[in-house]
């Protein structure tokens, strides 16, 4: 923004140009949508085809399609980077809300783990080169390069509000978005098929067999084609463990590409984030309770991961029991504190933010949308448990966990959305007098209402000591934040009670249930990370 203010003449002409271009952007918007839809549907058909009919469409066909997509997307990203580095007028506006640090950090972390996955894949398939297609090596190589280019691109350009070449950029971004979604679909399908390939999974199947099956299956699928080096099976095990991170990476990249696409042509005002100071000493109970819960969660998580791999049925049941109880405790406490937070929102009469904020709406949309993943898993679990009568303590605990999770997600969504739409407290104080005088001037008949409001604010929010309401609200935020972190860690690092507890597998059959979990859970993990960031923001403006 500063450059604009210093160059009045050029910025003037530029702004007129931007507005003119905005008026004619309809075509590009539509064209980019059509391109995106076509790539997505074609990708969906190819992936389904290769899943349902492995004779006519093999993994090789799908990978050739993906390689073409990845190369095209990389070309566009390089072109974009070159163009924007040359003409500094191309990106004058940056959206401060887009690409927040948690999203970029997550992208980097998951990008690194996906890169590791690709390296393991290359190492594995090099061993099969003498008897299998070279495309199986080429695909992870291209994907690895793509990961580096895309992470670089999104890290530096996620905040851009493009003003020049809008039509071309729009099409490029839908290409980026749909490529990531096709990669996501392919990864989800591959992961589901990999899990389903377990020969004749029975209810009585030893649990360790399911977890340790990958080595068996991977050699199983290529009986005729032997790996030429000895580390093959280890690599194969390793890269299948890293699949969920790649799925997560694609989701992150898609979210960022979508936000960039929405920001094209936006003229953002100078919405610098007000430097809200963070006083950790304001809150005590929330962090202490939250940390205790997180540590307890971590301990039970480790116990669970160790015990669930044992052969002993009793040990495994105990592990499940501890995991279920721990989760129920966490979720119940979260529900309780969220209810307290919601009541406090009702009690304090802060105004809702009236100003339109597209990034905020988008953010809320992504949050609520991502929560659907966990909600769907929970409802399917509830139906399965209720329909089979929920006999036995494990089934009863599983049912209560699912019910409480749905409740918790609904309450937390409500809490976060309400919290984000309130005026920050400190702004209120400064603004109160101003708007008040303003209101009196314009609507003399309404002067009573703001007067009363003002007196309330000035009474409750003296800068030195926080009012009890704000204090409790902050405690609630910190507690929920820490609880969300532990609920993120558990599924992100491998806890899969959905497969360790057999009731849903029996009820829905393995294919269906693994599809639900593999689609829903990555969204659930994304939701938890997103919640942490949003709760931190709610904490700051409370």
Choose the stretch contacting a copy of itself; rule: CB under 8 A; options: 27-35, 131-139, 185-193, 273-281. 27-35
Look at the block and give the residue holding tokens 């406090």: 344
3-state secondary structure of 265: coil
Look at the block and give the residue holding tokens 């009568």: 389
Are 268 and 1 in contact by the 8 Å Cβ rule? The answer is: no
Cα–Cα nearest to 406, from 245, 261, 524: 524
Cα–Cα nearest to 257, from 198, 322, 174: 174
Position among 64, 72, 215, 512 found at the interface with a copy of itself (CB under 8 A): 512
Choose the stretch contacting a copy of itself; rule: CB under 8 A; options: 94-102, 245-253, 305-313, 413-421. 413-421
Choose the stretch contacting a copy of itself; rule: CB under 8 A; options: 35-43, 91-99, 253-261, 459-467. 35-43
CB of 371 to a copy of itself, least distance (A): 8
In which region does residue 477 sit, left (phi positive, over 0), alpha (psi from -120 to 50) or beta (all else)?
Answer: alpha
CB of 56 to a copy of itself, least distance (A): 4
Residue 33 makes contact with a copy of itself by CB under 8 A:
yes
Burial of 186 by CB count in 10 Å (0-12 exposed, 13-18 middle, 19+ buried)? Answer: buried
Residue 410 makes contact with a copy of itself by CB under 8 A:
yes
Separation CA 79–CA 101 (nearest Å) = 25
Per CB under 8 A, contacts with a copy of itself among 136-165 are none
Beta bridge partners of 352: 422
CB of 228 to a copy of itself, least distance (A): 31
CA 508 to chain centre: 26
Beta bridge partners of 161: 93
Per CB under 8 A, contacts with a copy of itself among 37-56 are 37-38, 41-42, 44-46, 48-49, 52-53, 56
Which pair of structure tokens corresponds to residue 396? 């009863």
Choose the stretch contacting a copy of itself; rule: CB under 8 A; options: 90-98, 408-416, 457-465, 525-533. 408-416
Residue 352 makes contact with a copy of itself by CB under 8 A:
yes
Position among 4, 31, 149, 489 found at the interface with a copy of itself (CB under 8 A): 31
Residue 347 makes contact with a copy of itself by CB under 8 A:
no
Of 153 and 415, nearer to a copy of itself (C-beta) is: 415
Residue 358 makes contact with a copy of itself by CB under 8 A:
no
Report DSSP state, residue 281. G
Per CB under 8 A, contacts with a copy of itself among 359-398 are 368, 372, 375-376, 379-380, 382-384, 387-388
Per CB under 8 A, contacts with a copy of itself among 245-264 are none
The DSSP-derived string for 57-76 is S-HHHHHHHHHHHHHHHHHH
Residues in the chain: 542
Of 48 and 462, nearer to a copy of itself (C-beta) is: 48
Position among 17, 27, 212, 221 found at the interface with a copy of itself (CB under 8 A): 27
Which pair of structure tokens corresponds to residue 535? 């709760």
Cα–Cα nearest to 174, from 68, 36, 76: 36
Mind spelling out the 3-state secondary structure of 192-213?
HHHHHCCCCCCCCCCHHHHHCH
Separation CA 448–CA 440 (nearest Å) = 9
Residue 414 makes contact with a copy of itself by CB under 8 A:
yes
Residue 57 makes contact with a copy of itself by CB under 8 A:
yes
Of 44 and 141, nearer to a copy of itself (C-beta) is: 44
**Which residues are near a copy of itself by CB under 8 A?**
16, 23-24, 26-27, 30-31, 33-34, 37-38, 41-42, 44-46, 48-49, 52-53, 56-57, 61, 351-352, 354, 368, 372, 375-376, 379-380, 382-384, 387-388, 406, 410, 413-414, 417-418, 421, 446, 507-509, 512
């Amino acid at each position: 923004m500063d450059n604009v203010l210093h160059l009045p003449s050029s910025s003037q002409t530029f702004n007129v140009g931007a507005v003119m271009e905005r008026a004619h952007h309809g075509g590009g918007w539509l064209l980019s949508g059509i391109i995106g839809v076509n790539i997505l549907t074609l990708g969906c058909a190819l992936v389904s085809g290769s899943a349902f009919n492995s004779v006519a469409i093999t993994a090789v066909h799908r990978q050739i399609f993906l390689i073409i997509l990845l190369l095209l997307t990389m070309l566009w990203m390089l072109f974009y980077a070159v163009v924007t580095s040359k003409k500094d007028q191309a990106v004058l506006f940056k959206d401060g809300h887009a690409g927040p640090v948690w999203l970029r950090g997550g992208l980097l972390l998951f990008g690194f783990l996906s890169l590791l996955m690709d390296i393991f894949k290359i190492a594995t398939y090099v061993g099969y080169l003498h008897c299998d297609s070279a495309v199986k090596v080429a695909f992870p190589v291209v994907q690895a390069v793509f990961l580096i280019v895309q992470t670089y691109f999104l890290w530096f350009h996620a905040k851009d509000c493009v003003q020049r070449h809008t039509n071309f950029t729009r099409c490029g971004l839908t290409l980026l978005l749909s490529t990531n979604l096709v990669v996501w679909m392919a990864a989800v399908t591959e992961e589901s098929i990999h899990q389903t390939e377990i020969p004749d999974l029975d209810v009585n199947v030893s649990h360790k067999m399911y977890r340790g099956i990958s080595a068996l299956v991977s050699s199983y699928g290529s009986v005729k084609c032997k790996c030429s080096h000895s580390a093959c099976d280890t690599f194969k095990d390793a890269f299948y463990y890293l699949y969920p991170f790649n799925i997560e990476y694609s989701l992150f990249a898609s979210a960022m590409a979508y936000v960039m696409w929405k920001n094209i042509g936006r003229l953002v005002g100078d919405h610098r984030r007000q430097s809200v100071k963070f006083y950790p000493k304001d809150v005590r109970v929330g962090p202490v309770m939250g940390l205790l819960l997180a540590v307890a969660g971590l301990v039970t998580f480790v116990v669970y991961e160790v015990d669930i791999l044992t052969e002993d049925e009793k040990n495994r049941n105990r592990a499940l029991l501890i995991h279920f109880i721990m989760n129920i405790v966490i979720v119940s406490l979260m529900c309780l504190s969220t209810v307290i937070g919601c009541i406090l929102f009702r009690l304090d009469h802060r105004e809702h933010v009236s100003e339109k904020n597209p990034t905020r709406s988008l953010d809320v949309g992504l949050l609520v949308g991502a929560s659907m993943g966990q909600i769907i898993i929970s409802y399917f679990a509830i139906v399965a448990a209720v329909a089979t009568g929920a006999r036995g303590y494990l089934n009863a605990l599983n049912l209560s966990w699912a019910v409480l999770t749905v409740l918790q997600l609904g309450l937390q969504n409500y809490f976060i959305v309400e919290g984000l739409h309130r005026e920050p407290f400190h702004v209120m104080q400064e603004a109160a007098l101003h708007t008040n005088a303003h209101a009196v001037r314009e609507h003399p008949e309404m002067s009573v209402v703001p007067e009363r409001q003002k007196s309330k604010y000035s009474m409750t929010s003296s800068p030195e000591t926080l009012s009890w309401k704000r204090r409790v609200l902050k405690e609630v935020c910190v507690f929920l934040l820490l609880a969300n972190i532990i609920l993120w860690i558990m599924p992100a690092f491998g806890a899969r009670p959905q497969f360790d507890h057999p009731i849903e597998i029996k009820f829905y059959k393995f294919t269906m249930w693994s599809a639900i979990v593999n689609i829903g859970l990555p969204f659930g993990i994304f939701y938890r990370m997103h919640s942490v960031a949003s709760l931190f923001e709610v904490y700051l403006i409370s």
